[in-house]
Amino acid sequence: MKRRKFDVAAVPAKSAGALDDRFQAATPLRKVLNKVFPDHWSFLLGEIALFSFIVLVLTGVFLTFFFEPAMTEVVYDGSYAPLRGTPMSAAYASSLDLSFDVRGGLVMRQMHHWAALLFMASIVVHMLRVFFTGAFRKPRETNWIIGSLLFWVGFLAGFTGYSLPDDGLSGTGLRIASGIMLSIPVIGSWVTSSIFGGEFPGTIIISRFFIAHVLLIPGLLVALISAHLGLVFKQKHTQWPGPGRTNENVVGERFFPRYVLKQGGFFMVVFGVIALFGGLFQINPIWYFGPYEAWVVSAASQPDWYVMFLDGSTRLMPAWQIDIPIGDGYVIPPLFWPTVVLPGILVGLSLMYPFLEARRLKDHRHHNLLQRPRDVPARTAAGAMALAFFIVLTLSGGNDVIADKFHISLNAMTWAGRVGILILPPLAYYFTHRICLGLQQHDREVLAHGVETGIIKRLPDGRFVEVHQPLSAAEGHDGHAPALDYVGWVVPKKMNRLGALGPAIRGFFYPIEKPAEAPVSPGHPPVEPRPEREEIGSGESRR
């Protein structure tokens, strides 16, 4: 019998064939491989959140091997001398051990905490991008809702994690959280004692927070993130308007190989930046805070930045207590409004926004093209207003640090915040609105008259005029170049962008498509010269 020669080269093809026999993978695989993603820097912001979540899971798993979620009282006997002999909870002692007695534990702890801050920060930045470009409109309202929920679930994840070490600072935060729960009318005291298992602080809250922090909340996050990504995949990414881009297509790169390589590389960069942060910048030095003791506090007690806006709203709240004179008398404390009602309103507003806007504009079409912020002044201004609101509150959350370091009276800071929260958001709305209109106007001017060249010409009658370079080459019927349509995309404003000199810095700050892309092959324009676009500018700009 002839021995068949074993053909190594044929192995991959053969095994691939065997796989397809069983799983019929070839057709779906082709569909996954053939997936076009539009390329723009701002589309990568959400990825920062995704990647920091992966880092959070990796470092978090490491931490669970050493952390002991118990409030049993122990006496510290680790290597950090300034706390030796101090009675503390097992949770705090094991956090100290993670920092001082587990080799490399501190860098992991710090990376975990920095990754949490980065996770929340990139969620917010990504959310702003989505908001200001109108990417939340139909058909993507569901994904906007999921994204908003991700912020609030991330908020909970952050708060529970921040509380786990049971140090002086986080214990103070937990004390405030219990006060917030207490302030809820009617059921407040029942909610608090049920969560804390009795009177604050009880002996069980750390274990409960632990299971929430390592199982329930991450599980929820994973589910929400999967749904979020799945929907992006299913509904395909939005894209900026531009030559060849319509509401019905996606212009970009195929998923493989370039796009995936870029994603993989970017993950490593995010991971690397978190590692640098974890090593170079100290975060949450719990060994200075000491164990949580109900009578110990520090000046400048703040929560992490994403909770600071609630701390700020609490600080700015006037002492308005509502007494209800029924029976023995009941109270709604001032703490209730800025910490329970305000977040409730914020959650509601953020979830409802896509529907509110669609209702106001009576706009029920599909939108796959993004809008530049300037083209929707009302939305952009509303966003700026919300941002101003958030920033004033966040700064007020650190107003004692600002007061101390810049030698401003603390009381003046509080009053500045109270006045600022009323005045700055409307101002932000007004100015943003005007700026948007101005930018739009300038774009229209350039489209109508051309680019300013900087060349001043003297006319025979003695007037000086600046020469404008029209954008379209064709001569119109009256000898002028015809005005171009406003399409809501970048208009060249400088001569060198027109090709006279070429961009000053190549590749940086520019989207992949230049306004005028050279045709792929002579005689065959790659796309229709002026494709039909459904959304040209905004409803308002076309009035």
Partner 1 sequence: MTSDNDRRRGLLARLRGRPVARSRGRRRLGAAVRLTAALMLAGGAYTVFAPGVQAQDNPPLSAAANEGKALFDVSCVTCHGRNAQGVEGRGPSLIGVGSASVEFQVSSGRMPLARQEAQAQRKPPSFTDEQTRQIGQYIQELGGGPQVPQGNLREGANLATGGELFRINCSQCHAFGAGGGALSSGKFAPTLKPASDRQIYAAMLSGPQNMPVFGDNQITPEQKADIIAYIQENLKATQDQGGFNLGRYGPSTEGLAIFLVGIVALVFTTLWIAGKS
Partner 2 sequence: MSTHTEHQAPQGREPLDVNDPRLSRFDIVQEGARRDDIEIVHYEQQVVPGTKAERRLARTIALFFLLTGAAATAFLVIYIWWPWQWEPGRGGDKWYTPLLGVTLGIALLGIGFGILTWGKKLLAKEVSIQDRHDQPSSAEDRRIAGETMLFLADEMGIRRRPLLGVSLVAGLLPVGAVVAAPLIGGLITNPHKNNQMFTTGFKPQDGKKIRLIREDGRPIRPADVSVGGQLTVFPGIDGGVSNRHADSPTLLIHLREDDAQKSRAANAREGHGDYMWGNFAAFSKICTHAGCPASLYEQQTNRLLCPCHQSQFLITDNAKPVFGPASRRLPQLPIEVDEEGFFVAKSDYTETIGPDFWERP
Residue 193 near which of partner 1, partner 2, none (CB within 5-8 Å, type-dependent): partner 2
Distance CA 73, CA 430 (A): 57
227-266: which residues touch partner 2 (CB under 8 A)? 235-236, 244, 247-254, 257-258, 261-262, 264-266
Site for partner 2 in 58-117 (CB under 8 A): 73, 79-81, 100-101, 103-104, 106-107, 110-111
* Residue 97 C-beta: closest distance to partner 2, Å: 11
Q: Is 304 in the site for partner 1 (CB under 8 A)?
A: yes
Which helix (DSSP H) or strand (DSSP E) does residue 469 occupy?
A: strand 464-469
Cβ proximity to partner 1: between 32 and 296 the closer is 296
Q: Which residue has the tokens 């959140």?
A: 49
Binding-residue pattern over the window 481 to 510 for partner 2, x denoting contact by CB under 8 A: ------------------------------
Residue 100 · residue 79 · CB < 8 Å: yes
In the region spanning residues 241 to 280, those forming contacts with partner 1, defined by CB under 8 A, are: 262, 265-266, 269-270, 273, 277, 279-280
Position among 282, 441, 472, 496 found at the interface with partner 1 (CB under 8 A) = 282
Check residue 477 for interaction with partner 2 (CB under 8 A).
no
Two tokens, residue 225: 């993130």
DSSP structure string for 337-366? IIIIIHHHHHHHHHHHHHHHHHHHHT--S-
CB-wise, 262 or 494, nearer to partner 2? Answer: 262
Could you tell me which residues come within 8 angstroms of residue 533 by beta carbon, excluding any fewer than 6 positions away? 241, 246, 247, 369, 487
Distance between CA atoms of 418 and 401, rounded to whole angstroms? 17
Task: Report d(CA 535, CA 238) in Å as an integer.
Answer: 13
Binding positions for partner 2, 361-400, rule CB under 8 A: 366, 368, 399-400
Chosen from partner 2, partner 1, none, partner binding at 121 (C-beta under 5 to 8 Å by type):
partner 1
Please report, for residues 21, 206, 214, 215, the alpha-carbon distance to residue 220 in angstroms, rounded to integers and kept in the order given.
36, 20, 11, 9
Q: Which helix (H) or strand (E) holds 13?
A: helix 11-23
Tokens 């680019």, residue located:
451
Examine residue 110 and tell whether it contacts partner 1 (CB under 8 A): yes
Identify which of residues 23 and 190 has a Cβ nearer to partner 2 in the complex. 190
Burial 327-348 (b: 16+ CB within 10 A, else e): eeeeebbbbbbbbbebbeebee
**Least distance CB 260 / partner 1 (angstroms):** 13
Q: 59, 95, 122, 396: which one contacts partner 1 (CB under 8 A)?
A: 122
409 binds, among partner 1, partner 2, none (CB under 5 to 8 A by kind): partner 1
Binding mask 392-421 for partner 1 (x = CB under 8 A): --x--xx-xx-xxx-xxxxxx---------
Q: Hunting for tokens 């409730």 — which residue is that?
A: 344
> Residue 41 binds which entry of partner 1, partner 2, none, with Cβ cut-offs from 5 to 8 Å by kind?
partner 1
Q: Which of residues 503-532 bind partner 1 (CB under 8 A)?
A: 506-512, 514
* 413 versus 447: smaller Cβ distance to partner 1: 413
Long-range contact set of residues 417-423: C-beta below 8 Å, sequence gap at least 24: 417/312, 417/315, 417/316, 417/392, 417/393, 418/316, 418/318, 420/392, 420/396, 421/316, 421/389, 421/392, 421/393, 421/396
Does residue 135 interact with partner 1 by CB under 8 A? Answer: no
Q: If DSSP codes are grouped into helix, strand and coil, which group holds residue 242? A: strand
Measured from the CB atom, the residue of 5 and 31 that comes closer to partner 2 is: 31
* Residue 532 binding target from partner 1, partner 2, none, CB below 5 to 8 Å by type: none
Specify the residue, 272 or 348, whose C-beta has the smaller distance to partner 2. 272
In whole angstroms, give the CA distance from residue 456 to residue 147. Answer: 52
Site string for partner 1, 11-50 (x = CB under 8 A): ----------------------------xxxxxxx--x--
- In angstroms, rounded to a whole number, what is the distance separating the alpha carbons of residues 543 and 535? 14
Find the binding residues for partner 2 in span 9-68 (CB under 8 A): 30-31, 33-36
Could you say which of partner 1, partner 2, none residue 169 binds, taking C-beta under 5 to 8 angstroms by partner kind? partner 1
Does 179 contact partner 2 by CB under 8 A? Answer: yes
One-letter amino acid of 22 = R
Give the strand pairing for 322-324 and 36-37: unpaired
**Which of 426, 517, 530, 542 contacts partner 2 by CB under 8 A?**
517
